[in-house]
């Protein structure tokens, strides 16, 4: 039988591209063919970062609808989001229709199915309309998906929207399985009324709609593991046609994933880490989207320096408002007195695996959380937006593998939490125990590995019809 062929279509952002490329690598390991859809803008950037195709993997692209010279700044995704939602359906229909013509196969088998980002609901609709089965992939945690799924009920009960000025530490009791530990602040921040207008954030309605839309897909796939989110997965399953938990995907594939970075990684920090003692370095990265103020930058810097530990800090050039990154990097170097290393972008998974790293100060984006968990590194979480709040709560209160800074950004808190994460034997033991569990999930016979095999069978069935 000809190999199955899956088209993978992520939201055009680093965190989404990473986990879906890791998924693609898993499909390639299983002998399948993959067509990976980038936007034209990202394909140009990814190629600069040597994203190379292989005989069973090819990259195609579609326009994102924005002018070539649009900054596509991560601090404001509104333009990109609007443009994708308005021009995306027609552009995707054209791309998919051409992929279905017999002339387009280029040696690839006929398309078995589309695996679309759950935040691109139009891709699910377009694929099904063109007769291609569609699967949905959510790059965020299952617990955050369950929170969005629960929003209509929370609204009915008057728990959402959260009033301006409300105590964010108050419990929220109506997300199933999380009754004992969830607080208002752990819900996506779009659940909070906005001070300036006192309106409900329109983003909330959109995201709740996208979440419900996943029901239309033949199955919903999560980059998570049963030992992390068994309860959330069980509560989601009855609402979807099928659910697969197959992560952490970055650790699944035997072969390295094709280059995934839209930024150029600074490998020099690995040699710097080689020169540091075991578990002596704090690794700091707030992911690909967070934008912080100069004040927050200063609080982080003072807290890190105050902790007394060496640190490696990812300071993206677009991260601190309009500030010049060279000036900021110099400031870090001076304050760190030889114990600090700053990079624009790090090879994060290698960094976290390095023996010198003692803890990870993170925004608790789902990929970063999974990468830290897999390596058994204690996390200090400073959630920035969306799903990161609930991930941070799970780290602090459910898995006990790190500390939840909430949204506090004060030097004394940074300093205190970094010290605790570096020095607490209990946190390290819990982090390592969870890492072992997750590694068992992805090893042969483990829950994620078994689910992955089930998914491959599921996909191959499409090819038979
Ligand atoms: C955001 C959300 O927070 C996340 O939960 C959601 O699923 C996707 O959108 P982002 O800010 O990109 O994601 O964070 P995260 O999910 O942690 O992904 C960042 C990725 O970039 C990770 O895979 C990380 O390894 C990588 N990275 C980060 C690097 O390779 N180098 C760096 O220096 C920093």
**Closest atom of ligand 1 relative to the 384 alpha carbon:** 3
Which residue range forms the structural domain that includes residue 128?
5-142+205-257+442-464
* Structure-token pair, residue 456: 């491959």
Q: Is 139 in the pocket of ligand 1 (CB under 6 A)?
A: yes
Q: Which residues of the chain have pLDDT under 70?
A: 1-2, 47-52, 196, 198, 254-260, 322-323, 465
- Report the pLDDT value the prediction gives residue 51, as an integer from 0 to 100: 52
Residue 194, domain member (yes or no) = yes
Q: How many domains does the chain have?
A: 3
**Closest atom of ligand 1 relative to the 349 alpha carbon:** 25
Q: Say if CB 345 and CB 317 are below 8 A apart.
A: no
Same domain, 111 and 223: yes
Distance of CA 345 to the CA centre of its chain: 16
Residue 114, domain member (yes or no) = yes
Residue identifier of the C-alpha nearest atom 20 of ligand 1: 15
Same domain, 62 and 174: no
Q: Is 435 in the pocket of ligand 1 (CB under 6 A)?
A: no
Residue 371, domain member (yes or no) = yes
Residue identifier of the C-alpha nearest atom 7 of ligand 1: 140
Residue 414, domain member (yes or no) = yes
Residue 404, domain member (yes or no) = yes
- Ligand 1 center from residue 17 Cα (angstroms): 9
Same domain, 433 and 295: yes
Same domain, 234 and 319: no
**Closest atom of ligand 1 relative to the 362 alpha carbon:** 17
- Ligand 1 center from residue 157 Cα (angstroms): 34
Q: Is 374 in the pocket of ligand 1 (CB under 6 A)?
A: no
Pocket test for ligand 1, best of 142, 367, 373, 392 (most atoms within 8 A of CB): 367
For the purposes of burial, counting CB atoms within 10 Å of the CB of 432, is it exposed (0-12), middle (13-18) or buried (19 or more)? middle
- From the candidates 38, 41, 64, 117, give the one annotated as an active-site residue: 117
Q: Is 368 in the pocket of ligand 1 (CB under 6 A)?
A: yes
Buried b (16+ CB within 10 A) or exposed e, 22-50: bbbbbbbebebbbbbbbbebbbebbeebe
Half-sphere exposure of 370 (CA within 13 A, CB side): 30
Residue 129, domain member (yes or no) = yes
Same domain, 325 and 376: yes
Question: Domain boundary residue among 202, 217, 234?
Answer: 202
Report the alpha-carbon angle 391-394-395, nearest 5. Answer: 90
Same domain, 236 and 251: yes
Residue identifier of the C-alpha nearest atom 30 of ligand 1: 348
- Report the pLDDT value the prediction gives residue 47, as an integer from 0 to 100: 60
Q: What is the CATH number of the domain that holds 394?
A: 3.40.50.2000
Same domain, 194 and 213: no
Question: Domain boundary residue among 202, 218, 241?
Answer: 202
Q: Is 447 in the pocket of ligand 1 (CB under 6 A)?
A: no
Which residues touch 82 (CB under 8 Å, ≥6 apart)?
Answer: none
Distance of CA 266 to the CA centre of its chain: 21
Same domain, 59 and 155: no
- Ligand 1 center from residue 299 Cα (angstroms): 22
Buried b (16+ CB within 10 A) or exposed e, 166-200: eebeeebebbebbeeebbbbbbbbbbbbeeeeeeb
Question: Domain boundary residue among 202, 225, 240?
Answer: 202
Residue 262, domain member (yes or no) = no
Give the separation between CA 195 and CA 216, rounded to whole angstroms.
Answer: 35
- 134 SS3 class: strand
- Ligand 1 center from residue 176 Cα (angstroms): 27
Same domain, 72 and 167: no
302, β-bridge pairs = none
Closest CA to 387 of 225, 186, 151: 186
Which residues touch 217 (CB under 8 Å, ≥6 apart)?
Answer: 116, 118, 124, 134, 135, 136, 240, 241
- 398 SS3 class: helix
- Ligand 1 center from residue 266 Cα (angstroms): 16
- Ligand 1 center from residue 288 Cα (angstroms): 5
Distance of CA 115 to the CA centre of its chain: 17
Q: Is 10 in the pocket of ligand 1 (CB under 6 A)?
A: no
Same domain, 198 and 213: no
Buried b (16+ CB within 10 A) or exposed e, 81-99: bebbeeebbebbbebbeeb
Residue 12, domain member (yes or no) = yes
- Report the pLDDT value the prediction gives residue 455, as an integer from 0 to 100: 98
Residue identifier of the C-alpha nearest atom 3 of ligand 1: 365
- Catalytic (active site) residue 16: yes
Give the separation between CA 146 and CA 127, rounded to whole angstroms.
Answer: 25
- Catalytic (active site) residue 41: no
Closest CA to 261 of 323, 316, 320: 316
- 57 SS3 class: strand
Closest CA to 188 of 441, 362, 390: 390
Residue identifier of the C-alpha nearest atom 6 of ligand 1: 140
- Ligand 1 center from residue 392 Cα (angstroms): 14
Same domain, 150 and 63: no
Same domain, 248 and 164: no
């Amino acid at each position: 039988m000809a190999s199955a062929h899956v088209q993978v279509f992520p939201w055009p952002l680093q965190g989404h591209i990473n986990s879906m490329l890791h998924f693609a690598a898993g499909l390639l390991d299983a002998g399948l063919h993959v067509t990976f859809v980038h936007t034209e803008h990202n394909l140009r950037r990814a190629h600069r970062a040597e994203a190379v195709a292989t005989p069973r993997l090819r990259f195609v692209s579609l326009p994102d609808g924005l002018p070539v010279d649009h900054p596509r700044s991560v601090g404001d995704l509104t333009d990109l989001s609007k443009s994708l939602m308005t021009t995306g359906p027609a552009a995707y229909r054209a791309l998919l229709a051409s992929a279905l013509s017999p002339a387009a196969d280029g040696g690839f088998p006929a398309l078995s199915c589309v695996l679309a980002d759950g935040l691109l609901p139009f891709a699910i609709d377009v694929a099904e309309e063109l007769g291609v089965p569609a699967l949905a992939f959510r790059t965020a945690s299952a617990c955050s998906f369950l929170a969005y799924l629960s929003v209509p009920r929370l609204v009915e009960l008057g728990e959402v929207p959260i009033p301006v000025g409300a105590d964010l530490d108050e419990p929220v009791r109506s997300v199933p399985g999380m009754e004992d530990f969830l607080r208002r602040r752990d819900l996506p921040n779009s659940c909070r009324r906005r001070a300036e207008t006192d309106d409900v954030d329109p983003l909330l309605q959109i995201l709740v709609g996208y979440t419900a839309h996943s029901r239309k897909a033949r199955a919903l796939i999560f980059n998570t593991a049963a030992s992390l989110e068994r309860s959330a997965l069980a509560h989601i399953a009855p609402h979807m046609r099928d659910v697969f938990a197959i992560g952490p995907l970055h650790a699944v594939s035997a072969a390295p994933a094709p280059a995934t970075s839209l930024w150029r990684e600074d490998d020099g920090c690995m040699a710097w880490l080689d020169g540091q003692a075991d578990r002596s370095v704090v690794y700091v990265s707030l992911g690909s989207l967070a934008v912080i103020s100069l004040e927050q930058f200063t609080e982080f810097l003072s807290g890190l320096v105050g902790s007394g530990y060496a640190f490696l800090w990812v300071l993206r050039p677009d991260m601190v408002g309009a500030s010049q990154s060279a000036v900021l990097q110099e400031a870090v170097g001076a304050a760190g007195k030889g114990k600090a290393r700053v990079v624009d972008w790090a090879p994060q998974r290698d960094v976290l695996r390095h023996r010198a790293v003692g803890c990870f100060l993170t925004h608790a984006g789902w990929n970063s959380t999974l990468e830290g968990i897999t390596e058994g590194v204690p996390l200090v979480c400073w959630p920035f937006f969306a799903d990161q709040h609930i991930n941070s709560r799970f780290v602090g209160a459910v898995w006990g593998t790190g500390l939840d800074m909430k949204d506090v950004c004060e030097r004394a808190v940074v300093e205190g939490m970094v010290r605790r994460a570096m020095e607490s034997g209990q946190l390290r033991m819990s982090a390592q125990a969870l890492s072992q569990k997750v590694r068992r999930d992805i090893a042969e016979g483990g829950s994620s590995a078994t689910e992955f095999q089930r998914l491959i069978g599921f996909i191959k069935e499409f090819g038979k019809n």
